[in-house]
Amino acid sequence: MTGTLRTAEDAIFIGAEIYRTSSYGKAHPLRVPRVSTVMDLSRALGWLPPERFRASPRAKPAALALWHDPDYIAALQAAEALGEATDEMRARYHLGTLSNPVFPEVFRRPATGAGGVMLAAELLAAAPGAIHVPGGGTHHGLPGRANGFCYLNDVVLGIKVMLRAGLSRIAYVDLDAHHCDGVEVAFAGHPAVRMISVHEEGRWPFTGAVSETGGGSSFNLPVPRGFNDSEMRAVLDGLILPRVEEFRPDALVLQCGADSLLEDPLSRLALSNRAYLEVLAGLQRAAPRLLVLGGGGYNPWSVGRLWTLIWGHLCGREVPDRLPAEAEAVLRGLGWNGGSRPLPGEAMLTTLLDPPREGPVRPEVRARLAELERR
User: What would the pLDDT profile of 194-228 be if each residue is shown by its tens digit?
Assistant: 999 999 999 999 999 999 999 999 999 999 999 99
Domain range for 236 is 12-59+107-373
Decide if 133 is inside a domain: yes
User: What is residue 53's DSSP assignment?
Assistant: E
Helices vs. strands in the chain: H and E counts, helices first: 15, 8
| DSSP bridge partners of 251 | 170
- Rounded distance between C-alpha atoms, residue 22 and residue 25, angstroms: 9
Task: Output phi, psi for 271, to 5 deg.
Answer: -75, 155
pLDDT digits (tens, 9 = 90+) for 335-361: 999 888 999 999 999 999 999 999 999
Q: Which pLDDT value is given to residue 7?
A: 53
Name residues of the chain where pLDDT drops below 70.
1-7
Task: Output phi, psi for 15, to 5 deg.
Answer: -145, -175
Task: Output phi, psi for 154, to 5 deg.
Answer: -65, -25
Residue 281 in 3-state DSSP? helix
Decide if 68 is inside a domain: no
- Rounded distance between C-alpha atoms, residue 140 and residue 145, angstroms: 10
Q: Which pLDDT value is given to residue 9?
A: 72
The residue type found at 120 is: A
The residue type found at 178 is: H
Decide if 265 is inside a domain: yes
- Rounded distance between C-alpha atoms, residue 162 and residue 323, angstroms: 37
Residue 193 in 3-state DSSP? strand
Decide if 262 is inside a domain: yes
Decide if 233 is inside a domain: yes
Decide if 218 is inside a domain: yes
User: What is residue 192's DSSP assignment?
Assistant: T
User: What is residue 352's DSSP assignment?
Assistant: S
Cβ of 32: how many Cβ atoms within 10 Å?
Answer: 24
The residue type found at 40 is: D
Q: Is 140 an annotated catalytic residue?
A: yes
- Rounded distance between C-alpha atoms, residue 230 and residue 17, angstroms: 37
How many residues appear in the chain? 375
- Rounded distance between C-alpha atoms, residue 162 and residue 122, angstroms: 7
Task: Give the CATH number, domain containing residue 363.
Answer: 3.40.800.20
Sheet of strand 289-293: strand arrangement: 53-55, 12-15, 129-133, 289-293, 251-255, 170-174, 193-200, 218-223
Q: Which pLDDT value is given to residue 2?
A: 43
- Rounded distance between C-alpha atoms, residue 370 and residue 359, angstroms: 19
pLDDT digits (tens, 9 = 90+) for 180-199: 999 999 999 999 999 999 99
Decide if 79 is inside a domain: no
Q: Catalytic pick from 28, 140, 179, 313? A: 140
Q: Which pLDDT value is given to residue 340?
A: 84
Spatial neighbors of 10 by CB under 8 A, at least 6 apart, are 129, 130
Cis geometry, peptide bond prior to residue 101 (ω within 30 degrees of 0): no
Contact predicate 291/117, CB 8 Å: yes
Decide if 354 is inside a domain: yes
Looking at the 3D structure of the chain, how many domains does it have?
1
